Amino acid sequence: MNTAENDFLLTAVAQAGPAPQGEAIPWAADVLRRGVVAGRLPPGTRLSEIRVSEALQVSRNTLRESFTILVGENLLVRVPNRGVSVARPGAEDVQEIHRVRLALETSALRWSAPGPQPELHAAVEDGRAARLRRDVPGMADANQRFHRGVVELAGSMRQDELMTRILAEMRLVFFSMREDPTFHAPYIEHNARILELFEQGRHEESAVQMQRYLEASRSQLLEALAGPAPGPRGPGGTHGRG
């Protein structure tokens, strides 16, 4: 764990305060999860039990239990004789993530009541502003807010919790594209179109658009993981990823 990652943990603890009594295990897991989501604990980062437990001010036994939670969420991996590190998602992970997203996001669009969605509009506009700044993390954040908001349309706490885990994994998938301003940019307008169709009550059309979006995203990410190749194309013939 390098200085920047240790600084993140110390800052996170200072902001969160001490672990609630009797809840140190989920608290520590959440601090580490937020580090992954924020991109402060990138894929491959090795997590020293001694250093992380000192930074979080929890026992090593508590930390091991927290690690177990995050291993179960596919955010960390345990390697015999090498300890714990942040996961590096592969092709199978991308396939599974997109199967879950297809189920969650298209069903939310199909079965939720239509109506104005100011938070989804805000995510689209924030994505457009970040695109003008060529701000890749800003585009990624706005995009994840949009897709989280789509799942929230269903009003299911269980689905929201699952989407939170899926989006954390997606952050790890996106890490290798973090410097490319063209990666997320074109999908912002696809978000806008999906939202427009949903608010018009055209549920099936919005769900179909989302399906095409996610299928194109999956293909692009699989090509990127396979190695250098001609640039893949997003929905409608545009390059990018949402």
pLDDT digits (tens, 9 = 90+) for 121-169: 999 999 999 999 989 889 988 999 999 999 999 999 999 999 988 988 9
Q: Check pLDDT > 90 for residue 213.
A: yes
Mean pLDDT of the chain: 87
Q: Check pLDDT > 90 for residue 35.
A: no
Q: Check pLDDT > 80 for residue 12.
A: no
Task: Give the least confident one: 74-78, 170-174, 215-219.
Answer: 170-174
Question: Does residue 194 contact residue 209 with C-beta atoms inside 8 Å?
Answer: yes
Give the pLDDT confidence score for residue 223 in this predicted structure: 86
Give the pLDDT confidence score for residue 34 in this predicted structure: 83
Under CATH, what is the fold of the domain 3-86? Arc Repressor Mutant, subunit A (1.10.10)
Give the pLDDT confidence score for residue 232 in this predicted structure: 45
Tell me if the domain spanning 91-237 has CATH number 1.10.3720.10.
no
Helix, strand or coil, per DSSP, at residue 57: coil
Q: Measure the CA angle with vertex 27, ends 26 and 33; round to 5°.
A: 85
Q: Edge-to-edge strands of the sheet including 83-86?
A: 46-47, 83-86, 76-79
Residue with the bigger pLDDT between 199 and 3: it is 199
Closest among 101, 106, 6 to 48, alpha carbons compared = 6
Q: Mind listing the pLDDT tens digit for each residue in 41-71?
A: 888 889 989 989 988 989 999 999 999 999 9
Q: Check pLDDT > 90 for residue 173.
A: no
Share of the chain above pLDDT 70, in %: 89
Cα 132 from Cα 152, distance rounded (Å): 28
Measured torsion, CA atoms of residues 242, 120, 171, 102, in degrees rounded to the nearest 10: -70
Q: Check pLDDT > 80 for residue 114.
A: yes
Stretch 30-40: mean pLDDT: 83
Q: Do domains 3-86 and 91-237 have the same CATH topology?
A: no
Q: Check pLDDT > 70 for residue 178.
A: no
Going from N- to C-terminal start, the domains of the chain cover 3-86, 91-237
